[in-house]
């Protein structure tokens, strides 16, 4: 068996009931929910019983997703399954940072709460939306974006799929241009133009918060959304910049595989990252850990190797 990577998902994978089964089966996971509730009362209840509409609010989504991701990682640790390296998609990078022991979980949870608020405030300042563009290469998508002021490629997900953020008033014409080029733009259910210049103020304000935070040396290799490479240099600067910069997910996965990873465990709600990884390289194994069934399957198959 090669190396194992834990990957933590971003906003959009949330669902009502997430994390409940993990809290019931794992004392370590239950401890994470208690930590979250002590800092932000009601977090567990929102994860376990929040409505779909409520969980789509960025200021709620982010602390809830983060809590479930840390709980899933804690359950895996309790089962003696550990990662050789880690990365997270957008919000998930904060969970990866915590898993790698760069920041303690309560400090990061408080930062995530504020990050969600700042990003929601920035999203409300201007009407923006996002779409996943498929069936076109990166260069073609970048070229189409350049034709529209206020439209940007923001997430490089996998071959043939790039997420774009833009002014709402421009997205219909942008989608038409994508269709004319042979592609398809699929609207996403998000509340703002994340990872774009529209998030510049949120990025700056989050950076100011990070100045007071003590960071430690990463316990394992940790990858940056901004560069697609292992973290180097000013970690705080990259974390703040991440909010208004593209996510280089395909590059992260390719570098992990080149470093010996053949098993990816998506730690937290959904299977979005597993799907992207499968499109990047069909020769690696992917697992998800978000409930009792997926946890037990992962533990049984990964421990055998």
User: Does the annotation mark 195 as catalytic?
Assistant: yes
Angle ∠(262,253,86) on CA atoms, nearest 5: 80
Which residue among 26, 44, 90, 294 is the active-site one?
90
Q: Determine the pLDDT at residue 304.
A: 67
- What DSSP state is assigned to residue 198? G
Residue 305: the pLDDT is: 61
The CATH architecture one would assign to domain 128-187 is 2-Layer Sandwich (3.30)
Q: Is the dihedral of CA 7, 100, 95, 297 positive or negative?
A: positive
Question: What does the domain layout of the chain look like in residue ranges?
Answer: 3-123+197-304, 128-187
Catalytic annotation, pick one of 195, 255, 274, 294: 195
Instruction: Give whole-number Cα distances, 124 to 134, 152, 164, 165, 191, in Å.
Output: 27, 18, 18, 14, 8
Q: Which helix (H) or strand (E) holds 157?
A: strand 151-158
pTM above 0.85, yes or no: yes
User: What local confidence, expressed as pLDDT, does residue 1 receive?
Assistant: 72
Q: Which strands sit side by side in the sheet containing 261-267, from one edge to the other?
A: 221-222, 85-88, 3-8, 261-267, 285-289
Structure tokens at 127: 């009407």
Q: CA 184, CA 237: separation in Å to the nearest integer?
A: 34
**CA pair distance 81, 47, nearest whole angstrom:** 24
Task: Establish whether 216 is a catalytic residue.
Answer: no
List of the chain residues with pLDDT < 50: none
In the CATH scheme, what is the homologous superfamily, with its name and number, of domain 3-123+197-304?
Malonyl-Coenzyme A Acyl Carrier Protein, domain 2 (3.40.366.10)
Long-range contacts of 298-301 (CB under 8 A, 24+ apart): 298/76, 298/81, 298/265, 299/76, 299/79, 299/81
**Number of neighbouring beta carbons within 10 Å of residue 212:** 7
The reply to whether 3-123+197-304 and 128-187 are identical in fold is: no
pLDDT value at residue 108: 98
Give the pLDDT score at 74.
Answer: 98
């Amino acid at each position: 068996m090669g190396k194992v990577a834990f990957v933590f998902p971003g906003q959009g994978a949330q669902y009502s009931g997430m994390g409940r089964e993990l809290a019931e089966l794992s004392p370590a996971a239950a401890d994470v929910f208690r930590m979250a509730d002590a800092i932000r009362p009601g977090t567990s209840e929102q994860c376990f019983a929040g409505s779909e509409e409520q969980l789509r609010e960025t200021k709620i989504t982010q602390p809830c997703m983060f809590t479930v991701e840390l709980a899933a990682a804690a359950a895996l640790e309790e089962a003696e399954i550990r990662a050789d390296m880690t990365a997270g998609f957008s919000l998930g990078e904060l969970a990866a940072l915590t898993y790698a022991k760069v920041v303690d979980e309560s400090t990061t949870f408080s930062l995530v709460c504020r990050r969600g608020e700042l990003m929601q405030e920035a999203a409300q300042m201007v009407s923006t939306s996002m779409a996943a563009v498929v069936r076109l290469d990166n260069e073609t998508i970048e070229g189409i974006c350049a034709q529209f002021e206020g439209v940007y490629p923001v997430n490089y997900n996998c071959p043939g799929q790039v997420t774009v953020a833009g002014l709402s008033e421009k997205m219909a014409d942008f989608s038409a241009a994508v269709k004319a080029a042979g592609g398809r733009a699929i609207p996403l259910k998000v509340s703002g133009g994340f990872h774009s210049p529209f998030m510049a103020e949120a990025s700056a304000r989050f950076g100011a918060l990070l100045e007071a935070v003590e960071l430690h040396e990463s316990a394992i290799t940790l990858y940056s959304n901004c560069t697609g490479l292992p973290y180097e240099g000013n970690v705080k600067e990259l974390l703040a910049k991440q909010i208004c910069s593209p996510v280089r997910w395909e590059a992260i996965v390719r570098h992990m595989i080149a470093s010996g990873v053949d098993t990816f465990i998506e730690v937290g709600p959904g299977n979005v990252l597993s799907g992207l990884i499968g499109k990047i390289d069909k020769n690696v194994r992917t697992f998800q850990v978000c409930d009792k069934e997926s946890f037990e399957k992962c533990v049984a198959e990964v421990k055998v190797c």
